[in-house]
Amino acid sequence: MKRIFDFCFTALVFSFAGGCVTKTELNAEELKWINVYNVGDTLVFKEDGSGEMDTSIIVKKEIYYPPYTPLEVHDRYLPQHAEVKYKNKYLQYSPDGDELVGFIKRKPNKETVFHISYLYRGFIDHDLTIGSLKKKKKGRIYEFNVDHPRAESAQPKVIYWHEDYGIIKYITHGGVEWKRINLKDSSFLNDEH
């Protein structure tokens, strides 16, 4: 009888704990970074000097909740995740694609993790606020310094992100500039950024 009572009590505690979890939700301002892309979109870049072309393809766009793991991982909040993944011939360690942009909303009004990455060089903000990105913004374009002392010369050093188009340009550690050429309006690429 005690075993039945212990089992029922344990089941009741876990069902109560599972029922008290609060799901976080990414807001429209956060989701705008994800919504510039759709699966199947292509990002075609052209190198300024040689005219060499490089193409990335968006292979995944997902907004989801992971399985709830009480106490160990999630505490009282189930974090919402959002990510866009892409494939590129230079992603030798990630043949199934790598994350281009991602969010994790850990708590309702704080602790939103933001990550942007291209060709294994990225920027991460562990507690995103609107103000934390304003200093990186000029007009509608954000400039992310992703410099790393051990980066290869072909990896991005600076990534430029447009609010409507996503990544529009990057400059490598070797000083080579790659501009996106498959944009409806690319006149802003000639501005000094």
pLDDT tens digits, the chain, 193 residues: what are they?
A: 556 555 444 444 444 444 577 888 998 988 999 999 999 999 999 998 899 999 999 999 999 998 877 655 566 888 899 999 999 988 888 878 999 999 999 888 777 889 999 998 988 887 776 567 777 889 999 999 998 888 889 999 999 999 999 999 999 999 999 999 999 876 766 665 5
- pTM for this one? 0.81
30: left (phi over 0), alpha (psi -120 to 50) or beta: alpha
For residue 84, which of 45, 56, 121, 105 has the smallest C-alpha distance? 56
Residue 132 to residue 82: CA distance in whole angstroms: 19
